Amino acid sequence: GLLRYSEATIAAIATPPGPGAIGVVKVSGPLAETIMRRLFKPACGVREFQSHRLYYGWIVDPQTGQPVDEVLCVLMKAPHSYTREDVLEIQAHSGYFILTRILELVLREGARPAEPGEFTKRAYLNGRLDLSQAEAIAELTQARSETGLVMALSSLSGGLSQQALAIKQALTEALAVIEVAIDFPEEDLEIISTYELKEKISSQALSPIEELLKAYEATRVFREGISVVIAGRPNVGKSSLLNAILREERAIVSAIPGTTRDLIEGLVTIKGIPVNLIDTAGLRQARDEIEEIGVARARERIRQADLIIFVVDASEGLTREDQLIYQEIKERLHVVVLNKIDLVNDKNIRNFKGIFLGDQVVPVSALTGEGLDQLFQTLYDLLVGTDLPSPPPVAPNLRQKLALERAQKALIKALHNLERQESPEIVAMDIREALDCLGEITGETTTEEVIDHIFNRFCIGK
Ligand code: GDP
Ligand code: ZN
């Protein structure tokens, strides 16, 4: 039989606010079909709606008989729907105001507003998705870069769950062997080969877990993005550089003017990494109150930044102000950008490189765009490393990573206890602990609290 998570019928506007060609009101639960009968007048005049068929017609307010909007309606009967409950989708081709009217009518007919992520939560609780797939949906809707998108899609198709299941399978087999030793204590673990057990645990469980943990580190910047601050004294070309990068990489969010002079920022994707670029007023001595605020802010931004682009002017020598700013940032992850190379010759550039020996120095011209590609490559190499060919197709998110780390710890303990020829009961406990942690990835052993936390990150209508 069908496992019903809840008897309540939920509804939400499933498309984001703002002007768009169509908007969707989604309804899930036992009242879906009744609501369709009450509110929807199909143009073809039928009274019985077939599942998974698109009907054209009107939403009509049953109390007034007034038409509200021209719509397409589809009823998806349980269990062949996203939530595995009866689902009604009303596609209206109007704006947010009309969608709200339609939602109000749906709620008047007995549905209640959906909580964030509640549709996906029902899909999970009714067994339609496992937890890592549900999380992938949340990540998909929040993906900030194309690479993040690819990784979320891969989790959605079950990449991570499959790996977790394969590891669990190996551990379950190992556990079976150990349980034989527990049941027949006269044949100690030595006879059933401690060596083979250790080999199985390390090659089929511990190594794949360590690979996934590496993938997490390698892909973190793609998921989370980073903040990059452009620092340097006035007139070296910070604003020009920011604008050149925003132009080159088609800014996702156009530049934001700051509240103080000369402080703007923009979100761009550089080689798949979401980067929040921040231009600062520099760290010069403040001459008035507004500048003081600007300088304090610049310092704060630099403190919080993941990476600093330190800009110097190639057409001028290194000034004392340049040196003071350099002292402040040199211990942080940074790139030295030698700007305005359109004004100088190669000898000047070599001289500057000599000054910043041991630093990454990239000659550019914010004016002509020369050197920007090299700057992007340098940033990528600093943030991701040079040995990652392309982002790994499967990578855990933070929650999954923490579970994997606990599994790793338990397995290292298991190997240690096997080594010391501890009793099989103790080794079995370690392996069960690892299995529990792995179960959290797919959601078999996840607590209610964790589940709620995951679904609360969703937006309403998902
Ligand atoms: P900021 O004070 O560091 O933000 O510097 P700006 O971006 O405002 O630039 C200061 C001056 O340098 C402006 O007149 C820019 O047009 C000029 N400038 C910036 N970058 C370049 C460059 O690459 N080449 C040349 N020739 N001039 C530049
Ligand atoms: Zn500026």
Residues 81-121 have pLDDT tens digits of: 889 999 999 988 766 678 888 998 999 999 998 887 888 88
Structure tokens at 249: 């990489």
Helix (H, G, I), strand (E, B) or coil at 25: strand
For residue 367, the CA-to-ligand 1 centroid distance in Å is: 7
Q: Would you call the peptide bond into 67 cis, given omega within 30 degrees of 0 as the criterion?
A: no
Query: Is 319 a residue whose pLDDT tops 90?
Result: yes
H helical segments located in 109-258: 118-125, 131-142, 146-156, 159-183, 194-201, 207-224, 238-248
For residue 235, the CA-to-ligand 1 centroid distance in Å is: 6
Does 240 show up as a binding residue in the annotation? yes
Does 237 show up as a binding residue in the annotation? yes
Query: Is 336 a residue whose pLDDT tops 80?
Result: yes
For residue 313, the CA-to-ligand 1 centroid distance in Å is: 9
Quick one: pLDDT at residue 155? Answer: 63
Q: Which atom of ligand 1 is nearest to the CA of 236?
A: 3
> Among all ligands shown, which has an atom nearest to the Cα of 262?
2
Structure tokens at 40: 């929807």
The whole-angstrom separation of Cα 56 and Cα 91 is: 10
How much is the average pLDDT of 330-335?
Answer: 94
CB within 6 Å of ligand 1 — which residues?
Answer: 232, 234-240, 339-340, 342-343, 365-367
Q: Which atom of ligand 1 is nearest to the CA of 339?
A: 23
The whole-angstrom separation of Cα 323 and Cα 336 is: 12
Tens of pLDDT, residue by residue over 164-217, are 999 999 999 999 888 877 777 665 555 557 888 999 999 999 999 999 998 887
Pocket test for ligand 1, best of 240, 316, 337 (most atoms within 8 A of CB): 240
> Among all ligands shown, which has an atom nearest to the Cα of 311?
1
Tens of pLDDT, residue by residue over 38-72, are 999 999 888 889 999 989 999 999 999 999 888 99
Residue nearest to atom 20 of ligand 1 (CA): 237
> Among all ligands shown, which has an atom nearest to the Cα of 364?
1
Query: Is 254 a residue whose pLDDT tops 50?
Result: no
* Average pLDDT of the chain to the nearest whole number: 82
What DSSP state is assigned to residue 358? Answer: T
Asked if this assembly's ipTM is beyond 0.90, the reply is yes
Place of tokens 């000599």: 354
For residue 357, the CA-to-ligand 2 centroid distance in Å is: 27
Lowest-confidence range among 13-27, 209-223, 321-335, 412-426?
Answer: 13-27
Quick one: pLDDT at residue 258? Answer: 40
Quick one: pLDDT at residue 180? Answer: 78
Quick one: pLDDT at residue 438? Answer: 93
Residue 142 banded pLDDT, cuts 50, 70, 90:
low
Quick one: pLDDT at residue 388? Answer: 57
What is 10-128's CATH topology? Gyrase A; domain 2 (3.30.1360)
CATH code for 225-384? 3.40.50.300
Structure tokens at 322: 């340049």
* Closest to 278 (Cα-Cα) out of 287, 268, 292, 290: 268
For residue 308, the CA-to-ligand 2 centroid distance in Å is: 15
CB within 8 A of 10, min separation 6: which ones? 27, 28, 29, 111, 112, 113, 114, 115, 118, 119, 122
Neighbouring CB atoms inside 10 A of 45's CB total 7
How much is the average pLDDT of 325-339?
Answer: 94
Length of the chain: 462
The whole-angstrom distance between residue 75's C-alpha and the CA centroid of its chain comes to 32
Query: Is 378 a residue whose pLDDT tops 90?
Result: yes
Residue 27 banded pLDDT, cuts 50, 70, 90:
very high
Residue 9 banded pLDDT, cuts 50, 70, 90:
very high
Tens of pLDDT, residue by residue over 418-437, are 999 888 899 999 999 999 99
Helix (H, G, I), strand (E, B) or coil at 71: strand
Interior/surface letters 321-340, b for 16+ CB within 10 angstroms, e for the rest = bbeebbebbeeeebbbbbbb
Q: Residue 89 class from Cβ within 10 Å (0-12 exposed, 13-18 middle, 19+ buried)?
A: buried
427 neighbors 178 (Cβ within 8 angstroms): yes
Neighbouring CB atoms inside 10 A of 6's CB total 16
The whole-angstrom separation of Cα 283 and Cα 292 is: 10
Tens of pLDDT, residue by residue over 255-302, are 444 433 444 677 777 877 778 888 875 455 556 666 676 677 777 778
Q: Which atom of ligand 1 is nearest to the CA of 262?
A: 4
Q: Which atom of ligand 1 is nearest to the CA of 364?
A: 23
Structure tokens at 124: 């999970």
Quick one: pLDDT at residue 252? Answer: 44
Interior/surface letters 171-193, b for 16+ CB within 10 angstroms, e for the rest = beebbebbeebeeeeeeebeeee
Q: Which atom of ligand 1 is nearest to the CA of 234?
A: 2
How much is the average pLDDT of 350-357?
Answer: 92
For residue 345, the CA-to-ligand 2 centroid distance in Å is: 25
Neighbouring CB atoms inside 10 A of 447's CB total 9
> Among all ligands shown, which has an atom nearest to the Cα of 321?
1
Q: Residue 303 class from Cβ within 10 Å (0-12 exposed, 13-18 middle, 19+ buried)?
A: exposed
**CATH architecture of the region 152-221+397-456:** Up-down Bundle (1.20)
Residue nearest to atom 17 of ligand 1 (CA): 237
For residue 231, the CA-to-ligand 2 centroid distance in Å is: 10
CB within 8 A of 16, min separation 6: which ones? 459
Between 27 and 142, residue with greater pLDDT: 27
Query: Is 18 a residue whose pLDDT tops 70?
Result: no
333 neighbors 382 (Cβ within 8 angstroms): yes
Q: What angle do CA 136, 376, 299 make, to 5 degrees?
A: 90
Residue nearest to atom 14 of ligand 1 (CA): 235
How much is the average pLDDT of 136-149?
Answer: 63
Residue nearest to atom 15 of ligand 1 (CA): 237
Q: Which atom of ligand 1 is nearest to the CA of 232?
A: 3
Strand order in the sheet with 10-13: 40-42, 54-60, 67-76, 87-92, 23-28, 10-13, 112-113
Pocket test for ligand 1, best of 235, 345, 362 (most atoms within 8 A of CB): 235
What DSSP state is assigned to residue 40? Answer: E
For residue 294, the CA-to-ligand 1 centroid distance in Å is: 19
CB within 8 A of 238, min separation 6: which ones? 230, 231, 232, 262, 279, 280, 282, 311
* Closest to 111 (Cα-Cα) out of 12, 3, 5: 12
Does 282 show up as a binding residue in the annotation? yes
Place of tokens 């993005």: 225
Does 128 show up as a binding residue in the annotation? yes
Residue nearest to atom 6 of ligand 1 (CA): 237
Does 200 show up as a binding residue in the annotation? no
Domain boundaries, the chain: 10-128, 152-221+397-456, 225-384
Q: Which atom of ligand 1 is nearest to the CA of 279?
A: 4
How much is the average pLDDT of 296-323?
Answer: 88
